[in-house]
Amino acid sequence: MTATSAYEQRVVEILRELGVEEIYAKRKPVIEADELVSVGLDIYGREQKLAPGAAKAWQEMRSAAESLGITLQLVSAFRNVDYQHQIIKRKLAAGQKMEEILRVSALPGYSEHHTGKAIDLTTPGCETLTGEFEKTKAFGWLGENAAQFRFTMSYPRGNKVGVIYEPWHWAFQGAD
């Protein structure tokens, strides 16, 4: 069995355990990054990693913002399938319905975070992972400058995948 087919089989097993395998049966999962580099600590003191090209672009973007007095902080970066599985299980255990969860979290195997190219951001004084981020100077700077570092906001208002508006979630569009 190849690494890709083993990964895909793991995703199928997790989806079956969660009782949602049929939702995504026709969609191929995203490929989990196999080469990652450290990009430092997130706001919780956990080491975060990204794919090499995304890491370089993130560091350049953060430095450019910092040079103008804008602080961009990581909330999260790469997440493997098992970590995503734990997020979903924790939300289910807290009584959330799967339909609610899927409006804010991707199923294991389908998160941009698996690719090593997605980052969730915040800035000092901003509550994390909320629409409040949209009102910050950091968000304004990203809106004007992120594209030159090949980052785009993945889930704008009214996005076609039906995920809530996430002004904090950005993904690198370049190649590694």
pLDDT of residue 40: 97
Checking DSSP bridges between strand 118-122 and strand 73-76, what pairing results, if any? antiparallel
pLDDT tens column, 55-112: 999 999 999 999 999 999 999 999 999 999 999 999 999 999 998 998 899 999 999 9
pLDDT at 24: 65
- State whether residue 6 is helix, strand or coil: helix
How do residues 35-59 score in pLDDT, each as one tens digit? 999 999 999 999 999 999 999 999 9
In the prediction, which pLDDT does 143 show? 98
Please count the helices (runs of H) and the strands (runs of E) in the chain.
5, 6
Question: Rounded mean pLDDT of the chain?
Answer: 93
% of the chain with per-residue pLDDT over 90: 80
Instruction: Indicate if the pLDDT at residue 29 is higher than 90.
Output: no
User: Which 3 state secondary structure label does DSSP give 25?
Assistant: coil
In the chain the domains, ranked by start, together with CATH numbers, are 1-31+81-109 (no CATH), 34-78+116-176 (3.30.1380.10)
Nearest to 87 by CA among 26, 126, 30, 129: 129
**Are the beta carbons of 145 and 64 closer than 8 angstroms?**
yes
Question: Does residue 165 sit in helix, strand or coil?
Answer: coil
Instruction: Report the sign of the C-alpha dihedral through residues 169, 136, 73, 132, in that order.
Output: negative
If phi > 0 it is left, if psi is from -120 to 50 it is alpha, else beta; for residue 157 that is beta
Whole-number CA gyration radius for the chain: 16
Confirm if 58 and 40 have CB atoms less than 8 A apart: no
| Predicted TM-score (pTM) of this structure | 0.91
Per-residue confidence band for 4, with pLDDT thresholds at 50, 70 and 90: low
Q: Is residue 25 over pLDDT 70?
A: no
